[in-house]
Amino acid sequence: MNMDLMKPILALILAFTITARGAEQVDNGLLAFYDFNTIEGPIVKDRSGLKPALDLRIRAKGNTRRTNGSLEIIKGTVITSERPPIRMLNALKQSNEITVEVWFKPGNLKQDGPARLVTISKNTSERNFTIGQEVANLQSRLRTTRTSKNGMPAIETTPILSGKLTHAVYVRDSSGNASLYVNGKKVKGQMTAGTMSNWDSSYRLALGNELSGERPWLGTLYLVAIYNRDLSAKEVALHFKSGAQAKMDPTKLAAAQNEHLFETKIAPLLSKHCLECHDPATGKGDLDLSQKLTAFANKDMIVPGKYEISALWEAVAKNEMPKKRTPLSTPEKALLKQWIDGGAKWTLSRIDPAIYAQGNETSGNWIRRLTVREYIATVSAATGVDISTHARALLPPDLRADGFANTAYNLNIDLQHINAYAKLAELIVNRMDVITYAKRFSRKHSFTDKDMSAFLEKLGRWTLRGPLEKREVILYRGITTSVVANGGSYEEAVGLVLQAMLQSPRFIYRMENQFTGGRVGNFELAVRLSYLIWGAPPDEALYAAADQGKLSSPEQIRIQINRMLKDPRAVDRSVQFLSQWLNLGHLANLRPDKNHFPRWNPSLADDMRAETIAFFKEIVWKQNRPLSDLFNAQFSYLTSQLAQHYRLTPLQTGKGTLRYDLTKIPSRGGLLTHGSVLTRGGDDASMVTRGLFVMQDLLRGVVKDPPPCVNTTPVPSQPGLSQRGIAEKRIANTNCGGCHSKFEPLAFGLERFDGLGSYLEKDNHGNRLREDGQILFPGEAKPITYRTSKELMNHLADSNRVRQSITWKLTQFALGRPLGPRDARSMQTIHQAGWKSGGTYANLITAIAVSELFQIQPPENTE
- Our finding on whether 479 is near another protein (CB under 8 A) is yes
Which of 165, 168, 140 lies closest to 239 in space, CA to CA? 168
Question: CB 654 → another protein: shortest distance, Å?
Answer: 28
- The CA–CA distances, whole Å, from 670 to 26, 35, 119 equal 45, 59, 63
- Our finding on whether 476 is near another protein (CB under 8 A) is yes
- The CA–CA distances, whole Å, from 199 to 35, 54, 195 equal 26, 19, 9
d(CA 863, CA 162): 41
Q: Which is nearer to another protein, 117 or 703 (CB)?
A: 703
Q: Quick one: which segment of 314-322, 417-425, 446-454, 821-829 binds another protein (CB under 8 A)?
A: 417-425
Asked whether the beta carbons of 427 and 387 are under 8 A apart, the reply is yes
Exactly one of 136, 454, 475, 784 binds another protein (CB under 8 A); that residue is: 475
Contacts of 382 (CB under 8 A, 6+ apart): 462, 463, 507, 537
Q: What are phi and psi of 561, to 5 degrees?
A: -60, -45
- Our finding on whether 483 is near another protein (CB under 8 A) is yes
Exactly one of 292, 333, 337, 423 binds another protein (CB under 8 A); that residue is: 423
Residues 567-586 interacting with another protein (rule: CB under 8 A): 585-586
Q: Quick one: which segment of 351-359, 533-541, 654-662, 669-677 binds another protein (CB under 8 A)?
A: 351-359
Alpha helices in 198-242 (DSSP H): 233-242
- Our finding on whether 6 is near another protein (CB under 8 A) is no
Which of 98, 100, 151 lies closest to 121 in space, CA to CA? 151
Q: Which is nearer to another protein, 215 or 390 (CB)?
A: 390
Question: CB 427 → another protein: shortest distance, Å?
Answer: 10
Asked whether the beta carbons of 803 and 831 are under 8 A apart, the reply is yes
Residues 260-279 interacting with another protein (rule: CB under 8 A): 272
Measured CA angle at 196 (ends 190, 201), to 5 deg: 135
Question: CB 512 → another protein: shortest distance, Å?
Answer: 7
- Our finding on whether 482 is near another protein (CB under 8 A) is yes
Question: CB 374 → another protein: shortest distance, Å?
Answer: 16
Q: Which is nearer to another protein, 292 or 506 (CB)?
A: 506
Question: CB 834 → another protein: shortest distance, Å?
Answer: 26
Contacts of 266 (CB under 8 A, 6+ apart): 335, 336, 339
Which of 158, 124, 122 lies closest to 138 in space, CA to CA? 158
Q: Which is nearer to another protein, 368 or 790 (CB)?
A: 368
Exactly one of 96, 137, 166, 407 binds another protein (CB under 8 A); that residue is: 407
Contacts of 53 (CB under 8 A, 6+ apart): 45, 46, 47
- Our finding on whether 588 is near another protein (CB under 8 A) is yes
Q: Which helix (H) or strand (E) holds 659?
A: strand 658-661
Q: Which is nearer to another protein, 179 or 271 (CB)?
A: 271
Q: What long-range pairs does 705-714 form, CB within 8 A, spacing at least 24? A: 706/736, 706/739, 707/735, 707/736, 710/735, 710/736, 714/684, 714/686, 714/688
- Our finding on whether 591 is near another protein (CB under 8 A) is yes
Exactly one of 389, 448, 486, 653 binds another protein (CB under 8 A); that residue is: 486
- Our finding on whether 410 is near another protein (CB under 8 A) is yes
Angle in degrees, 0-180, between the axes of helices 554-564 and 540-547, rounded to the nearest 10: 170
- Our finding on whether 397 is near another protein (CB under 8 A) is yes
d(CA 245, CA 248): 10
- Our finding on whether 324 is near another protein (CB under 8 A) is no
Q: Quick one: which segment of 212-220, 396-404, 609-617, 767-775 binds another protein (CB under 8 A)?
A: 396-404
Q: Is 525 exposed, middle or buried (0-12, 13-18, 19+ CB in 10 A)?
A: buried
Which of 19, 14, 48, 22 lies closest to 234 in space, CA to CA? 22
- Our finding on whether 1 is near another protein (CB under 8 A) is no
- Our finding on whether 198 is near another protein (CB under 8 A) is no
Residues 24-83 interacting with another protein (rule: CB under 8 A): none
Q: Quick one: which segment of 63-71, 155-163, 589-597, 843-851 binds another protein (CB under 8 A)?
A: 589-597
The b-or-e profile of 794-827 (16+ CB within 10 A means b, else e) is bbbbebebbbbbbbbbbbbbbbbbbbbbbbbebb
Q: Quick one: which segment of 135-143, 360-368, 446-454, 541-549 binds another protein (CB under 8 A)?
A: 360-368
Q: Which is nearer to another protein, 612 or 679 (CB)?
A: 679
- Calculate the dihedral angle through the C-alpha atoms of 341, 343, 347, 348, rounding to the nearest 10 degrees: 40
Contacts of 374 (CB under 8 A, 6+ apart): 406, 531, 535, 536
- Collapsing DSSP states into helix, strand and coil, what is residue 524? helix
- Our finding on whether 829 is near another protein (CB under 8 A) is no
Residues 487-526 interacting with another protein (rule: CB under 8 A): 487-488, 492, 496, 499-500, 503-506, 508-509, 511-516
Exactly one of 233, 248, 422, 454 binds another protein (CB under 8 A); that residue is: 422
- Residue 172's beta-bridge partner residues? 98, 178
Question: CB 839 → another protein: shortest distance, Å?
Answer: 28
Question: CB 595 → another protein: shortest distance, Å?
Answer: 6
Q: Which is nearer to another protein, 329 or 446 (CB)?
A: 329
d(CA 769, CA 747): 12
Question: CB 434 → another protein: shortest distance, Å?
Answer: 14
Exactly one of 16, 409, 441, 447 binds another protein (CB under 8 A); that residue is: 409
Residues 592-651 interacting with another protein (rule: CB under 8 A): 592-596
Question: CB 305 → another protein: shortest distance, Å?
Answer: 30
Question: CB 514 → another protein: shortest distance, Å?
Answer: 4
Residues 705-724 interacting with another protein (rule: CB under 8 A): 705-714, 716
Q: Quick one: which segment of 186-194, 212-220, 359-367, 439-447 binds another protein (CB under 8 A)?
A: 359-367
Residues 83-142 interacting with another protein (rule: CB under 8 A): 86-87, 90, 94
Residues 426-445 interacting with another protein (rule: CB under 8 A): 426
d(CA 28, CA 229): 8
Exactly one of 11, 254, 367, 559 binds another protein (CB under 8 A); that residue is: 367
Q: What long-range pairs does 184-192 form, CB within 8 A, spacing at least 24? A: 184/236, 184/237, 184/239, 184/240, 184/241, 185/237, 186/233, 186/236, 187/138, 187/157, 187/158, 187/160, 188/155, 188/156, 188/157, 190/153, 190/155, 192/142, 192/144, 192/146, 192/147, 192/155
- Our finding on whether 401 is near another protein (CB under 8 A) is yes
Exactly one of 210, 288, 683, 754 binds another protein (CB under 8 A); that residue is: 683
Q: Which is nearer to another protein, 25 or 583 (CB)?
A: 583
Question: CB 216 → another protein: shortest distance, Å?
Answer: 30
Q: Which is nearer to another protein, 23 or 485 (CB)?
A: 485
Q: Which is nearer to another protein, 87 or 188 (CB)?
A: 87
- Our finding on whether 399 is near another protein (CB under 8 A) is yes
- Our finding on whether 365 is near another protein (CB under 8 A) is yes
Site track for another protein across 843-862, x = CB under 8 A: -----------------xx-
Provide the residue type at 803 as one letter: R
**DSSP state string for 89-147:** HHHHHHH--EEEEEEEEES-S---SPEEEEEEESSSS-EEEEEEEETTEEEEEE--TTS
d(CA 366, CA 792): 40
Residues 719-778 interacting with another protein (rule: CB under 8 A): none
Asked whether the beta carbons of 124 and 212 are under 8 A apart, the reply is yes
Total residues binding another protein (CB under 8 A):
97
- Our finding on whether 680 is near another protein (CB under 8 A) is yes
